[in-house]
Amino acid sequence: METTLIIFKPDAVQRGLMGRIMSRFEEKGLQIVGCKLMQISQDLAATHYEAHKDRPFYKSLVGFMTSSPVLVLAIRGNNAIAVCRKMMGATFGSNAEAGTIRGDFGVSNSFNLIHGSDSPEAAERELKLFFKDGEVLNFDRAVESWVYDMSGGKPE
């Protein structure tokens, strides 16, 4: 099981899409193990996006991410990183397939609604930026055996 960071960006929050987007992850069978509404500081945004520091869009990205509250989630599931990224769709809403979050709710190439960790290493780093020790929970769900085939001893 993997745990990944998902951020509903300011446009998703301002457009009132948090519940609709979150329900997609839950309906898929993924487990929400951490959740908080927060205002990202300039320092946190700069740290989170430091890999893009030399890119032309960096300043506007940091400005956008600090312009309004965001909803930050820790989501767990079998191959959660790949599953979540597939659900999110292509980076630009205008290119995203129907049925994906960006494809169904976005058309902008600047405002793309959602961020998701792109690797296990990124997820580990990003989760530590947004969640303190004890804020990402471990708990059993009765539904787990109906989400995953566990007959082989591991989730499939």
Segment 79-128, tens digit of pLDDT: 999 999 999 999 999 999 999 999 999 998 889 999 999 999 999 999 99
Q: Is the pTM of this model over 0.85?
A: yes
Of the candidates 9, 48, 76, 115, the residue annotated as catalytic is 115
Please write the tens of the pLDDT for every residue from 12-53.
999 999 999 999 999 999 999 999 999 999 999 999 999 999
Q: How far is CA 38 from the centre of its chain?
A: 14
Q: What is the CATH number of the domain that holds 8?
A: 3.30.70.141
**Cα gap 37→82, rounded to integer Å:** 24
The answer as to whether 142 is a domain residue is no
Do the beta carbons of residue 118 and residue 126 sit within 8 Å? no
Question: Tokens in use for 4?
Answer: 């990944």
The answer as to whether 124 is a domain residue is yes
Overall domain count for the chain = 1
The answer as to whether 141 is a domain residue is no
Query: Is 115 annotated as catalytic?
Result: yes
The answer as to whether 149 is a domain residue is no
Do the beta carbons of residue 20 and residue 62 sit within 8 Å? no
The answer as to whether 148 is a domain residue is no
Do the beta carbons of residue 12 and residue 114 sit within 8 Å? yes
